[in-house]
Amino acid sequence: MMTLKVNGQDHEIDADPDTPLLYVLRDDIQLNAAKFGCGLGQCGSCTVIVDGNAVLSCVTPLLLLEGKQVTTLEGLGTIEAPAPIQRAFMEEQAAQCGYCIAGMMMRAQALLQKNPKPTDQQIRAELEPHLCRCGTHMRILRAVHRAIRLMDTADAASVAPGRAQ
Amino acid sequence: MIGSVLAALVIGGAVAAFAIVWRPAIAAIDPPAPQSFDTALVRRGQDLAAIGNCNDCHTVRGGKDFAGGLPVPTPFGTIFSSNITPDAETGIGRWPEAAFRRAMRSGVDRNGQHLYPTFPYDHFTNVTDEDDRALYAYLMTREPVRAPARANQLPFPLDQRVVIAGWKLLFLRRGTYQPDGTRSAEWNRGAYLVEGLAHCGACHTPRNLLGAERASAQFAGGDVDNWHAYAINAQSSAPVPWDAEALFTYLRDGWHPDHGVARGPMAQVVSNLSSVPPSDVRAIATYMAGVSGAPAPDRKRRLEEVLAQARSPAEQASKTNAVGASIYAAACATCHETGRPLPYGGVNLALSTAISNPDPRNAINIVLSGVRPVEGERSPIMPGFAASMNDDQISALLRYLRARFSNQPEWTGVAKTVADARRTQTVFLQTSSGPHNAPADATQRDKP
């Protein structure tokens, strides 16, 4: 039994210490934004934020998360009140099938929390670990640039503290 | 009388010192037109520049090719690579061929200034005039880039270039490679390339206190960019002994099923070697196989022991290091134990030199940073774990890997090495040229 902090809430988890975080999020806590893509840390669709860093949840065993803050896409905003990064992806219609998008948003969010004004080159380099089979890459890039502008005007800190650490 | 002897000694000493230190400037020329060079010569120069790995030091990540500016950390301070594009003001555009040849042969720039041996002229001195001509033709036909030299960060007196003249007196043996008549043409070609232009020893041979390669420990393993350049002589710690065929495949394709994928600074080397004539890579492999010699009889037995150990249940290692075992099971085994073929699957870690090597840095660097894929190519990939594991967890994992997949003694000081690697890797990845990655299959380049 261990306590896992996800989106500001404590969850008591009964799982082996080598269980991947992704399984716990989806199966135990029913947070289904993070997706199972390859299970090998090669596609990025399972990306979540742990203590401010983008992390591949499919290759992150539970035991590494003792005392850490996990943030999933659900923790950034809601359908009624989407976070700037979510609004930007919607406004640019950056999703086609959408399978990779939660991971893309989480890594972009982690980047913008650390560097609110990344260059196009920095965004491309940062999103390198993410695959998109539909080919909406240019829209995704536009969405991240839009998120930069939204956060600049709306204040990135509008995301509730303790949620997106 | 004594006075005049002293005066003669002082004057004689001064003349000798002057002769050692002073080199004349070579008159500048107007930058030659690219069309003035023979295309076949330029093409040969391109292959030679790839063998010499010139772009690796003379290009900054994301910067223009050969424009220099890469910080090279040394135990003495930081030296920045120079601009070797044909830019007239900031590059070598005004260098005649004789000046280029002198720089290669004896480490002196066009103005007569001594160059720091970070530029490996102790190897390049072996390069023939003919090859220098081809290299010159290649570099002089590149795009000129205006990029002024960055000032080196060296303490006094090392910032005085006079000091370099003394270093050369001690360590620079001038002269081109002399073939060994008792050996095959291929072996001699390999020796010429390895000891000369390819300058393998610059990384793989340990250096003395004055930064010169220790001739007595040639290819016994050295340091570069906070990676360990493995011993590639008889002391190699590769679980499967290298032979010429395996070396050829590895150098050409960037990976070998018995050894894994070339990483760290070696990735750029194999990337360059993927485009040069295969006969040159084969020559290098033939010569280096001779250097490492036939494997000692106990090598094969040791390998079999390690493989058996890796196949058997990990009870002992798991009991003493449950954290490391759990991390391995969840984060590593999905790729490293599923039998997916290399280079897309992970190598069986019992075959990994990084795990059997006395120095844990390479294994730590890979766990932290992973293996980044090459844009537009099929290539190996591994996620980095710097963001998801803290230093203690990485240390636990590394201790587990060492116990489970090698029969070597425990590494000492792993925790400190992890902390150091985390600091330095970040810097390395920001400044190194190119993607630092090997092509998965040289024959498939440009065919994603």
* Chain centre distance of CA A32: 12
Tell the CATH topology of A2-75: Ubiquitin-like (UB roll) (3.10.20)
> Is the confidence at residue B87, as pLDDT, over 90?
yes
Nearest Cα of chain A lies from the Cα of B14 at a distance, in angstroms, of 55
Tell which residue, A26, A27, A22, has the closest CA to residue A38: A22
State the span(s) of chain A assigned CATH 1.10.150.120: 84-158
Once rounded to an integer, what is the mean pLDDT over residues B93-105? 98
Q: Which CATH fold would you assign to the domain A84-158?
A: DNA polymerase; domain 1 (1.10.150)
Mean pLDDT lowest among A110-124, B172-186, B286-300: B286-300
* Percent of chain B residues topping a pLDDT of 70: 94
CATH 3.10.20.30 domain extents, chain A: 2-75
d(CA A82, nearest CA chain B) in Å: 26
As a whole number, the mean pLDDT across chain A is 92
Q: Which of B236, B240, B247, B158 is nearest to B194 (CA)?
A: B247
pLDDT digits (tens, 9 = 90+) for B176-193: 889 999 999 999 999 999
Nearest to A39 among B327, B334, B372 (CB): B334
Decide if pLDDT at A88 tops 80: yes
- Rounded to an integer, what distance in angstroms lies between the CA atom of residue A47 and that of residue B310? 31
- pLDDT recorded at residue A155: 58
CA distance B28 to chain A (A): 39
Q: In the CATH hierarchy, which fold is given to the domain comprising B185-292?
A: Cytochrome Bc1 Complex; Chain D, domain 2 (1.10.760)
Q: Please name the residue of chain A whose CA is at the shortest distance from the CA of residue B372.
A: A129
Task: Answer whether residue A165 shows pLDDT above 50.
Answer: no
Amino acid at B48: L
State the pLDDT confidence band at A68, using cuts at 50, 70 and 90.
Answer: very high
The residue with greater pLDDT, B294 or B68, is: B68
pLDDT tens for A150-163 read 998 865 445 544 44
Q: In the predicted model, what is the mean pLDDT of chain B?
A: 90
Whether A42 and B393 lie within 8 Å, measured CB to CB:
no
Establish if A17 touches chain B: CB-CB under 8 angstroms.
yes
Model ipTM value? 0.87
Decide if B185-292 and B311-444 have a common fold.
yes
User: Does residue B358 carry a pLDDT above 60?
Assistant: yes
Residues B313 and B14: their CA atoms lie apart, in Å, by 72
Mutate to test the interface with B, among A19, A38, A42, A124 (most CBs of B within 10 A): A42
Provide mean pLDDT across the span B127-153.
97
Closest B-chain CA to A50: B388
B62 touches chain A (CB under 8 A): yes
Q: Tell if the CB–CB gap between B393 and A64 is shorter than 8 Å.
A: yes
Chain A neighbors of B378, CB-CB under 8 A: none
Mapping DSSP onto H, E and C, the string for chain B reads: CHHHHHHHHHHHHHHHHHHHHCCCCCCCCCCCCHHHCCHHHHHHHHHHHHHCCHHHHHCCCCCCCCCCCCEEEECCEEEECCCCCCCCCCCCCCCCHHHHHHHHHHCECCCCCECCCCCCHHHHCCCCHHHHHHHHHHHHCCCCCCCCCCCCECCCCCCCCHHHHHHHHHHCCCCCCCCCCCCCHHHHHHHHHHHCCCCCHHHHCCECCCCCECHHHCCCCEEECCEEECCCCCCCCCCCCCCHHHHHHHHHHCEECCCEECCCHHHHHHHHHCCCCHHHHHHHHHHHHHHHCCCCHHHHHHHHHHHHHHHCCCHHHHHHCHHHHHHHHHHHHHHHCCCCCCCCCCCCHHHCHHHHCCCCHHHHHHHHHCECCCCCCCCCCECCCCCCCCHHHHHHHHHHHHHHHCCCCCCCCHHHHHHHHHHHHHHHHHHCCCCCCCCCCHHHCCCC
pLDDT of residue B372: 83
Does the pLDDT of residue A52 top 50, yes or no? yes
Q: What pLDDT was estimated at residue A161? A: 43
Banded pLDDT at B1 (limits 50, 70, 90): low
pLDDT recorded at residue A145: 98
Cβ atoms < 10 Å from Cβ of B446: 7
Most confident of B50-54, B292-296, B314-318, B345-349: B50-54
Q: How confident is the model at residue B446 (pLDDT cuts 50, 70, 90)?
A: very low
Is pTM beyond 0.80? Reply is yes
> Could you read off the pLDDT of A6-31 as tens digits, one per residue?
999 999 999 999 999 999 999 999 99
- pLDDT of residue B377 exceeding 80: no
CB nearest to A61's CB, from B331, B335, B373: B331
**Domain B311-444 annotated CATH 1.10.760.10:** yes
Average of per-residue pLDDT across B230-253: 95
* pLDDT tens digits, one per residue of B417-432: 999 999 886 555 544 4
What percentage of chain A exceeds 70 in pLDDT? 93
Q: What is the rounded average pLDDT of the residues B84-98?
A: 98
Domain limits, chain B? 19-171, 185-292, 311-444
d(CA B225, CA A74): 41
pLDDT at B319: 80
